[in-house]
Structures are given as C-alpha cells and as structure tokens.
Structure 1
Amino acid sequence: MTTPNLPTGHEPSARTDLALSNGAPLPHKRRFVLPVALAAIAAALLAIGIVPRLHASSELTKQVDAQRYLSVDALTPTRAPSSQELLLPGNVMPYADASIYARTSGYIQHWYADIGTKVQAGQTLADIQTPELDAQLRQARADEANAKANYSFADSTAQRWQTMLQTQSVSQQDANAKTSDSAAKLAAWQAAQANVARLSELVSYEKVTAPFNGVITARKVDVGALVTAGGSPGIAANGGELFHIEQTDRLRVYVDVPQNDAQSIAPGTKVYLTTQQYPGRQFDASVARSADSIDPVSRTLRVEVDVDNRDGALLPGAYAQVHLALVAAHPALEVPVSALLFRPDGVTVAVIGKDDKVQLRTVTIGRDFGTYVEVATGLDSTDRVINNPGDAISNGETVRIAPAASATSATSAASAKHG
C-alpha cells in the first residue's frame, strides 16, 4: 500500500485524522482515564464509609431526644359498673332446729320415727309409759269429785240459811258462816280442777310429738329407756335428748359480709348459691334479714339468706358459695390496679397534666373488682392516668406519651377486664 503524501505543515492533523479513521485510541486520552477512575473509586469508598456514619449519628440524635423525657402509657378512667358480684362462703343451716326432750318421767314404751324419717307437725314420735302419773291423775279426779260434792252441799246450805235469815229464823252471824263455808268449798273444788288439768297435761306428754314439719336427724332412745321430765343429764348419757328434728324444706344460709360492702346489703338483695356437688347449678335465694350491726371482732355484718329446698337438693350443714349482687347507686371511676402507687401518704396515681408534667394525686379506693379498682375520690373522667408508673416517678417530671404502646396497653387491659 502506498502512503499518501500529506501537505507540508499539517502532519499532526493529518495523522490524527488518520488515527480516528482507523479507530485507534489517542495517547493523551489514556492519561485522563486513570485519574478519573481513581477519583470515582475514592468517592464510592468515601460514600460507603460516611453515609452509615451520618445515618447512625441521626439515629443517635433521635434516640437521645426520645430518652430526654420518660416514655409512659396513658389511659383514661372509665365509669365503674353499677353492680358487682360479691362471692362469700356460707354455712347452710336448717330453717328450724330443735332438740326434743321428755316433759314427763317414765319409760319409753314405743318409738315411731328413726333418723331420716320425714314427719309432720303433731305427729307422734314415741310413747312414754308413766303408771305413777296415771295413778296420780285418777286420784286427782277423785279429789275433784269430792270437792265438787262438798261445794254443792255447802252452797245449798248457804242458800237455805240466807232464806231463813230473811224471816229472822237464824242469826246474821250463822248465815255469814254458812256463806263463807260455801266459798271455801268452791275454792277447794277449783284447786282440785286445776290439779286435774295439770296432771292431764303431764299425761298428754306421754306422747312425744313433732313440733314442726321436718326430718328426724337423731334418735337417742330405745324401748325401755328411762327418761325424766326436762331431760336430766344424770339419767342418760345423751343429756336426756330423745330426738333431734330439722326443718329442711327451707334453709338458712349465714354469711359474713365485710364492712366495706355492708351498706349495699338489704332485704331482697338478689343472691344465688353454688355448690361443688352440683356444678353449673344455681340455687335462687334472697336476703331475708341482717344483724344491722358490725361485729367488732371480725368487722363483718351477719346476713341471713333463705333458700327454697323443697326438692331436698341441699343438705343442712353443707358448705356453699354465696353470690351477692351488690348495686351501687352512684358508681365512681375505675382504673387498673397497675396504675396505683403505694406511697407513705396513701394510695397515689400519676396523672399527666396539660403541660405533659406528672401530677401525683392521692386517691381513695372504693370497690375492688380484682384487676380493677374503683376510685372514690381524687380523679376526673378527663384525666390522663399513667399505667404502670415506675416507683421513681416524681411530681412535676416531664413525660412523653407512647401512642403505640398506649393502644396496646389499653387493648390488653380491656381484655383482662372483660375476661
């Protein structure tokens, strides 16, 4: 190939054009590529090292700002429920309970009711044999007849003497003597009648009867046993008690209500019973009466609850759980127990003021609902109460509310409250 001739004075330019036409790199371009590449690599390395530092510094600044004030969970007090169920242990007792003793002395001739026997009022439980008493009654009736005859004769004599006195046939003194004798005979007859009535009453006690409808829970005598009137302890080892009877178609349940809840108890208060023997069953009952006095030893109010037990499901002497429905006329606000602080000056809650500063308030606790308590005084419905405050929290301390944590705390508290 023949190289073309270039014009004089233009060799470089011609060579350059020739190089460009052939696609070959220029020598002076190579000198700039390497510094630029090194600069780019240095910039990339610088960016990789500084950007994380700048991000970490920004996060640190945010964390310092966040920790400058205490982050707390806040909640608003809600109205406490008007009704509350008070669960107390109760002793089931018979509505009527009596020990039956002999009213006359003698031997048991026969008994008719054993333990577990249901009896009616006036039903004969046993017969007592009293031959001496029967003889005394016969003698008393004879004495009554004699006294009656004496009075009849004395009365007729006194009437005749009063008639003769009108005709001056007898003296006034003799007539008065006959009248007094008649009155004395009348008194003797009346005394004999009273003695017969007394002995007749004692003889009627030969039949031991039930005082009310109930169940015989104890029989402590047998045929031939000697019993005495009034049950002298020296005669029998059982103290003279013949039978024990309990009325079980209606039962009494005694409960001791704490002093703080005593004002909510009144006759007619709704109540029901539960027992372990009947899972899931509720026995309707009602408050019949209360002692209207606080026991100074236990600081409780004795309350009597009446239960209809005609089906005989409950047994006297059993243990039962009494559910009392207490109703508050003016319920106050309630907060979770976790919001309370126990300080030397009393129970305290931490409230966030308008300036986000803590205000420690001493409150009065009312009813206790377990996880929640009623605050009788010291709180308003618009207050923002700190939940789970630390023991080191102080009055006037600036705090910051954590919205997300507060919402979670409120949801958890609501779940715990409503079970």
Structure 2
Amino acid sequence: MTAPTPASDSVAITQPASRRGRWLLAIVALLVAGGLWWRLGDVGHAQKGPGGMGRGEQGPQPVTAAVAKALPLPVWFTALGTVTPRSLVNVMPRVAGLLQSVDYKQGRMVKAGQLLAQIDPRPFQIAVAQAQAQVEQTQAQLAGAQRDLVRYETLLGQDSIAAQQVSDQRATVAQLKATLDANKAALNNAKLQLSWTRITAPVAGLAGLRPVDAGNMVTTSGAVGAVTVANSGGGTSAGSGGGNATPIAVIAQVQPVDVTFALPQQQIGEVVGQLLHGKQLEVQAWDARNTKLLATGKLVAADNQINTSTGTLNLRAEFDNKDLALFPNQFVNVRLLVRTLPDAVVVPSTAVAVGAPGTYVYVIGAGDKVALRKVVTGAAYENLTQIVSGVRPGERVVTDGLDRLRDGSKVRVVQARQAMPGPVASGAHAGRPDGKAKPAAAGGAH
C-alpha cells in the first residue's frame, strides 16, 4: 500500500473549508436581509399616525382658545416719575448767637409754628430793655417840651416873651416826637430780633437729619464751623468753613406730595386738552418693580414748553400721601388714565402674533378649522389687547399653540377661557376690576 502524495492531502483539506465559508456567507446575508426588513417596516409604521394615517396626514392640533369680547377698556399712558415735596425749606437762623437747644426730632413730622431750636436770648433781651429805656427817656423829654410850649404860648399871648422863643420850642417838640418814633421803631426791631431767637417751622412737613447740634455758634449763614452733611434735596450743606450755609433744619412738605413725570409730545395733546378744560385725570404711582400700587392721585399741572432735547413735556400730579408711601426723590412708575374705551373688542395678548403676514390671530371657524386673519391692535391692558379691526365679539381665537398652526389647520380646543373675568370698573379704580391689579401700558393703534 502506497503513501498518499502531498498533492492529494492538499485537496482533502481545501474542500471542507470551502463548505464552511459558504455557510458563513449565507448566514451573514440572512442577517442583513432581516435587518433591512425590520428597518423598512419601522419607517413605514412611523409614517402613519395614531389612526393609521399615512405620510402627510395630521390629526387636530391641541390648542387653547378664548372668546373675543366687547368691554370697557381703560387707556393708560406710562412714564417714569420722581417724587418731589410740595415745598422744601432750609430753615436758617435769622440772628447770630449761641444755639441753646434743638427741639425737634430728626426724621419726624413737624407742625407749622412748632419750635425747632432756641438761640440764647439774653443779649437780645438786654437790647430790648435798652430800646425800651430810650423810648421812655424820649417820652419824658417830649412831655416836658410840650409843657414848656404851652407855657410859652401863654406868655406870648401876654406879650411877655419873644415870638422866636415860641417857634424854637415848637421845633423842639417836633424833634422829640420824631426821636420818639425812631426809638419806638428801634424797640420793635429789638423785640423782633428777640423773637427770632425762637426758630419755628414755617411749614408742616417731614424733618430731615439734624445738621447742627446745640452748643454751636450760629449766624445768619448757618452754624460756624459745622461739618458737611447731606440734605434731603440730594446735595450737601456745609458750615462757614465750607463756604455754604448750614440750616438749622430741613423740612420737606410731603402731605400732599407731588410727582413729576414726562410724556412724549405725541401724547400730550389729549392730556393737556382735558387738563385745561378742568377735567381731573387719575394718576397712579407704582413701585419701581411695577408690582405694588403706592398711591392714587390726580394730574394738576403741565409745563408751558416742550423739552427740545427729549421731545417731552413735564407734568405734575398730586397725591395725598397720608400713609407716607411716597418719599421725596423716590423713583416711581406713573400711570395716567387718559380715557376709557366703552366697547373695545379685546382678546388675550397671547393670541396676537407678529410675523411675515404682519400682525395676525388665528380665528377658529366651522369644523374647528382655523383661519389666519390680519388684525390692527390698539390699547393694551394687563393681559388683554384691543383689536381695532379684524376680529368681532364672540369669535374664538387661539391663545396657545400658534406656532404649530397654519391657515386651514384643524384644531382641538383642550382648554377654553374667557377674554375678561368681568366688566372693567370705572371711577377711581378704572381699569382694575378688583381694585388691586395694576394697569399695563397703553398706546395708540398700530
């Protein structure tokens, strides 16, 4: 028996290997085909909607909606204002002397005529006594001269003295009368100087921080050598060393208090016209964050010229400020009620969109299909916007989900809400149905 040759061994080894390769290729092909089938089936399923709709078909879009209503709508003009005291008085000494006492409490309300400080009155009391003595002396001299004149006139009638002596006596009496008048005036002046040692409040108001203490020498220019202190007017006051006057007290009249603000010239025509005709316009002062109503007042005055640098007109409103909610130099947000539109068509502000078509809303029509409708907007109040044209009362508008819609889309309203919880109040709280909500900025139609 002969041994196999090398060639026959090679053939025997190659044949099993070829069969294994074919099996591997078949398995890979099956895996690839299965993956493709699964992928195509998943894509086809994804192209159908929940109801089995095919590509390009969409179900109703869920949206929220509100009903447009015709309601009284207040029109407010807004501005940034500054609280200014009705009067700001720097109480200065009117005589010089030693400041004996400071009798007011800093940062507290003072009444008109209330004692603020006392200057040492003794030098002025002495001056009054001296002036009084001069008056009494002159009165005695005048009385003696008048008696002499009567006697001289009697002697002249008897031709016992010369007429010249009588004339001289008459001149003496007239001179003493003039001297008496001058002495009385000096006495009154001395009494006036004495009264000025009592420094009283010229107006009622809020006293600022005490700028000078008792024990200082004061003059009509203020305290001698007083240090620089801040005053309620926003500046500083210094003693004689600083070259500025230091008051005894600074009083700001804050009941009532004024708020000064400016409106652009495009808005002043309607405001000034009503003001000149005697109509009282309501003004509200809100805090810096526009979250709290501080006070309600009225418009009282307008400036007589427009600021050429800003194109605005300064106006002034008055507030009772009984609770001292407004403080001098405080910045507030001012809202001026110009008028109330009686039957304004309003929709929630979220229903109004601005895009390529312009300003528009989506109106829900028959079959719950929406129509893109261009609108002209007017005043705004809180979360409501006036529709001047484009929407009628009673029509439903989409308020949420506008970005998923197009003209003719079908919608499903998931939540409906009213455009306004109730009618707008009028009077002192016009534009605030509950008397607490703040009014939003308002403007003309655009």
Indicate whether the TM-score tops 0.5: yes
- 1:317 is paired with a residue whose SS is coil
Aligned to 1:298: 310
Residues 179-258 of structure 1 mapped to structure 2, 5 A cutoff: 179-231=170-222, 235=240, 237=242, 239-258=245-264
* Percent of matched pairs sharing the same residue: 22
User: 1:142, CA displacement in angstroms?
Assistant: 1.5
Greater Cα offset, 224-233 or 145-154: 224-233
* Residues 227 and 235, structure 1, Cα contact 8 Å, conserved in 2: no
State the secondary structure of the residue aligned to 1:241: coil
CA distance in structure 2 between the aligned counterparts of 1:255 and 1:133, rounded to whole angstroms: 48
Q: 2:111: which partner in 1?
A: 120
* CA gap 1:328/1:249 in 2 versus in 1, 3 angstroms: closer
**Structure 1 residues 313 and 161, CA gap change in structure 2 (3 angstroms):** same
Letter of the structure 2 residue corresponding to residue 90 of structure 1? G
Distance (Å, rounded) in 2 between the aligned partners of 1:148 and 1:271: 65
Instruction: Show the counterpart of 1:358.
Output: none
Structure 1 runs not aligned, ≥5 long: 1-78, 330-335, 342-366, 380-401, 406-414
Confirm or deny: 8 A CA contact 1:95 1:248 kept in the other structure. yes
Closer, same or farther: CA 83–313 of 1 in aligned 2, 3 Å: closer
| Distance across 2 between alignment mates of 1:231 and 1:280 | 41
- Separation in 2 of the partners of 1:302 and 1:159? 73
Cα deviation, residue 102, structure 1: 0.6
Provide the rounded CA distance (Å) in 2 between the counterparts of 1:235 and 1:305: 38
1:389 maps to: none
Q: Stretches of 4+ moved more than 6 A in 1? A: 336-341, 367-375
- Report the residue type matching 1:101 in the other structure: M
Distance 2:131 2:289 in 1: 59
Greater Rg by CA: 1
8 Å CA contact retained: 2:210, 2:248: yes
Q: Who is 2:328 aligned against? A: 316
Q: Which residue of 1 aligns with 2:147?
A: 156
Residue in 1 aligned with 2:267?
Answer: 261
In the other structure, the counterpart of 1:60 is: none
The question of 1:138 aligning with 2:144 is answered no
Q: 2:164 aligns with which of 170, 173, 186?
A: 173
Secondary structure of 1:173's counterpart equals helix
Deviation at 1:228, TM superposition (A): 0.3
Could you tell me whether the CA contact under 8 Å between 1:249 and 1:311 is conserved in 2? no
Residues in 2 aligned to 1:246 and 1:324: alpha-carbon distance in whole angstroms: 25
Which amino acid in 1 is paired with 2:319?
V
Alignment of 1:7-406 (within 5 A): 84-231=75-222, 235=240, 237=242, 239-265=245-271, 266=275, 268-276=280-288, 279-281=291-293, 283-327=295-339
Task: Measure the CA separation in 1 of the matches of 2:353 and 2:147.
Answer: 97
Aligned-residue offset at 1:277: 7.5
CA distance in 1, matches of 2:95, 2:200: 13
**For the residues of structure 1 that align with 2:245 and 2:157, how far apart are their CA atoms?**
67
Conservation of the 8 A alpha-carbon contact between 1:165 and 1:172:
yes
SS at structure 2 position matched to 1:103: coil
- What secondary structure does 1:287 align onto? strand
d(CA) in 1 for partners of 2:408, 2:76: 34
Instruction: Give 1:339 deviation, angstroms.
Output: 10
Q: Deviations over 1:47-71 (max 9, x none)?
A: xxxxxxxxxxxxxxxxxxxxxxxxx
Which amino acid is the alignment partner of residue 138 of structure 1? A
Provide the residue aligned with 1:411 in structure 2: none
Q: 1 or 2, which has the higher helix percentage?
A: 1
Distance in 2 (CA, whole Å) between partners of 1:228 and 1:374 is: 67
Post-superposition CA distance 1:290-348 (Å, at most 9, x none):
2232223322221111111112222222111110112399xxxxxx996999xxxxxxx
CA separation in 1, counterparts of 2:99 and 2:196?
12
1:345-373 deviations in whole A, cap 9, x for unaligned? xxxxxxxxxxxxxxxxxxxxxx9869999
Greater shift in the superposed pair: 266-275 or 245-254: 266-275
Tell me how large the CA RMSD over aligned residues is: 4.5
Aligned equivalents of 2:211, 2:292: Cα separation in 1:
38
CA contact (8 A) 2:76 2:336 kept: yes
Distance 1:374 1:260, change over 3 A: farther
SS of corresponding position for 1:285? strand
Provide the secondary structure at the position in 2 that maps to 1:239.
coil
Residue identity matched to 2:98: Y
Match of 1:263, SS state, is helix
Partners of 2:320 and 2:356 in 1: CA distance: 43
Q: What secondary structure does 2:215 align onto?
A: coil
Task: Give 2:104's aligned amino acid.
Answer: A
User: 1:313 corresponds to which letter in structure 2?
Assistant: A
Shift of 1:169: 3.6
Cα shift at 1:236 = 5.4
Which sits farther off after the overlay, 188-197 or 208-217? 208-217
Residue matched to 1:392 = none
